[in-house]
Chain A
């Protein structure tokens, strides 16, 4: 299976702190994407990083990719209560389907 697996499973931080979530996968990939899901809602695309990229930024988000370790990290800086959500990584090594990990539940306390 090429599933992405996130850790930690759950993360609780204070508003203003940084949150780091990690994702590991098993097979070669073409790209890796991060999505956010608010409780019981749809998936919101956050950022896509290609296999030939090592780091990407978007606003308060920073994503890194290490293909030698088959891992990625998502950093959210200066977290806000509104960042409370589940965060998933998804890979698409084969075909055009996405394979999602189990997700990290982030809780930002105000």
Chain B
């Protein structure tokens, strides 16, 4: 069964450094998402992406964040200058369509620790 994959599974970085989190969505899916979950808290929406542009973003997704689909398979989340509070599990998800009623399939996550 097709799966969303994410790399790396764990990333440790120093505050102020840039990190790029990578995702390979399910191949025939058109909508892509990033969510994050701070330890012990709810899963929070960051951004959705369709047709090579952001379709929606949350207030968490400020100027330090960016997303890109550099080729036909990868979908990346870049955090330009990491802060301690960026430490979280980051999940990528994809769906076949972006309309209501579409299941979003999640990857296993990247655990980011900012020191």
Which residues of A are in contact with B by a Cβ distance under 8 Å?
3, 30-31, 33, 35, 40-45, 48, 50, 88, 90, 92, 95-103
Q: Which residues of B contact A95 (CB under 8 A)?
A: 48, 55-56
List residues of chain B with CB within 8 A of the CB of A31: 100-101
Contact B98 A96 (CB under 8 A): yes
User: Which chain A residues lie closer than 8 Å to B91 at the CB level?
Assistant: 42-43
Could you tell me the dominant secondary structure of chain B's interface residues? Answer: strand
Interface residues on B, range: 20 to 34
A96 and B43: CB pair below 8 A?
no
Give the distance in Å from the alpha carbon of A30 to the alpha carbon of B44 in the complex.
19
Interface residues of B (CB under 8 A from A): 31, 33, 35, 41-45, 48, 55-56, 58, 89, 91, 93, 95, 98-109, 111
The number of residue pairs between A and B whose CB atoms lie closer than 8 Å in the complex comes to 63
**Interface-centre pick from A35, A92, A102 (highest chain B CB count, 10 A):** A92
Q: Which residues of B contact A100 (CB under 8 A)?
A: 42-44
- Asked whether, in the complex, the Cβ of A96 is within 8 Å of the Cβ of B103, the reply is no
Given contacts A95-B56, A96-B95, A99-B45, contact A48 B103 (CB under 8 A): yes
Determine if B106 and A96 form an interchain contact, defined as CB atoms under 8 angstroms apart.
no
Residues on the B chain within 8 Å of A33, using CB: 103-104
Bound Cα distance A88, B35 (Å): 14
Residues in B whose Cβ lies below 8 Å from that of A41: 108-109
B103 and A45 within 8 A (CB): yes
